[in-house]
Structure 1
Amino acid sequence: MAPQDRDRAVALSLQLAQAHQKLRSQLASLRTGPSRDLTVHCVAFCAAVTAHHEGEDAGMFAELLRLRPDLAGTVDKLVEDHGLISWILSRIAAATSDDAVSGELDGLTAILESHFAYEERAISAALDAGTPDTGWSAKVFDFN
């Protein structure tokens, strides 16, 4: 692998951690901000998480599996997490009160933190090993 490709791969793992940190910060702001209209404010956050995970599933994970079939178990676990997170996001979208949203955010916070930490450990190492960006990074990092 050429040095610039290796540098780009390392940069991708850092971008993954930064994307997760941005989502963590947005979630923290939701949880500590004013409770008025919490349901409305969750819409943008839920859309960002959904776009990020859809980009991972269709782009980054597909590329990782193409190059590293040994990561199938890891990717399966992460995709399973995405399903659970999607279910929680649908419960937030269906919530009829800020109290209900707040309760769902507690569960979402716990699973997202665990999911992000696991993904950063397991997937960043593979990215750092030289997974090329075949265009998937825009789908994973541009979720706003």
Structure 2
Amino acid sequence: MPHDFNQQVIEEFRANKGRVGGPFEGGRLLLLTTIGARSGRPHTTPVAYLPDGDRVLVIASAAGSPKHPAWFHNLVAHPEVTVEAGAFTYPARAVVLEGEERDRAFARAVDADPGWASYQERTERVIPVVALYEITQGPPQVNASSMGEAIKVVHDAFRRELALIRDEMAKGGSTGSTLGAQLRVNCLTFCQGLHNHHTGEDTALFPFLADRHPGHAPVLARLREEHERIAELVERLRRAVGEDGAAGEPEDARAEVARLTAELEAHLTYEEEQLIPLLDAAAG
């Protein structure tokens, strides 16, 4: 039965570019493919994850069972894994966190969702935390069949993450009065990802389109200006959440997320309206 359930989640995840319903709806989920420690065959498992800057963290809780999940044994034996994150698929190197680093990461997970603590209480084993580092092999593979679809898929991933951050802020974190440690990391990771995406557009995509569609220069100029405005809002959010561990004020952070959400949604929608037809025409 667990295998059948996992397979349904995997199929839904892939069909909807990372969007799923049921118990995983509204959460952060990725598909982790490991190589069987004994069989040598690939195994794909849906797992929850935590953003953590240039890496993601997965927790081998197995819902508090007395044994580590099979995927954990697999990645210990074969640390090179494949991550499907909705918009992107990429190879990664798995590193099991130890000591204080593991404890800090697990505490952040509990700060974001106390359910992790209940899993630890159910078992005598120390639940492992694993960091997944992308193995850079050029640009990440976008899970899309065309350049136009790729833009929409990446944009939707940003929309989902920002919606999650808004929801987490609305709940007030685990204490209700402070900006949780993991929520701060989520915000900063989102900010960095958005910066990287816009930098890639400014340096690669927009020059490509300008060369082939000179009549769209005003559109590209507007998009670049919007990137600058969004970068200002991102910097304001960084300050509001307390970058480098400084204490941030929850109300300030909520206000900055609301401003960023409004401007970013308008920008993404305009970009899709203007650029998807150009990109699809270029591929035709």
TM bin (shorter chain): 0.7 to 0.9
1:77 aligns with 2:214: no
Partner Cα separation in structure 2 for residue 75 and residue 131 of structure 1:
19
The partner residue of 2:172 within 35, 38, 44 is 35
Structure-2 change in CA distance of 1:131 and 1:62 (3 Å): farther
Aligned with 1:18: secondary structure? helix
1:43, 1:93 within 8 Å by CA — same for their partners in 2?
A: yes
Q: Deviations over 1:84-131 (max 9, x none)?
A: 100000001111322211100101111111101100010111101116
1:24 aligns with 2:159: yes
The partner residue of 2:276 within 119, 124, 127 is 124
Higher strand proportion, which one? 2
Partner Cα separation in structure 2 for residue 64 and residue 35 of structure 1:
43
Partner Cα separation in structure 1 for residue 217 and residue 252 of structure 2:
36
Q: Which residue of 2 aligns with 1:54?
A: 199
Q: Which residue of 1 aligns with 2:70?
A: none
2:146, 2:283 within 8 Å by CA — same for their partners in 1?
A: no
Unaligned runs of 5+ in 2: 1-144, 174-179, 241-247
Tell me the TM-score normalised to structure 2 length: 0.42
The partner residue of 2:254 within 102, 109, 117 is 102
Unaligned runs of 5+ in 1: 1-9, 133-144
% same residue: 31
Higher helix proportion, which one? 1
Partner Cα separation in structure 1 for residue 265 and residue 231 of structure 2:
15
Specify the code of the residue in structure 2 equivalent to 1:22: A
Query: With CA pairs under 8 Å and 6+ residues apart, which has the higher RCO, 1 or 2?
Result: 1
Partner Cα separation in structure 1 for residue 159 and residue 251 of structure 2:
20
Partner Cα separation in structure 1 for residue 264 and residue 148 of structure 2:
18
Q: Which residue of 2 aligns with 1:92?
A: 237
The partner residue of 1:65 within 210, 220, 240 is 210
Partner Cα separation in structure 1 for residue 269 and residue 276 of structure 2:
10
Larger radius of gyration: 2
More deviation in 34-43 or 70-79? 34-43
Structure 1: which 4+ aligned runs deviate by more than 3 Å? Answer: none
Tell me the TM-score normalised to structure 1 length: 0.81
Q: Which residue of 2 aligns with 1:7?
A: none
Partner Cα separation in structure 1 for residue 236 and residue 172 of structure 2:
18
Q: Deviations over 1:26-56 (max 9, x none)?
A: 0000000243323332001001111111011
2:147, 2:279 within 8 Å by CA — same for their partners in 1?
A: yes
Partner Cα separation in structure 2 for residue 45 and residue 35 of structure 1:
19
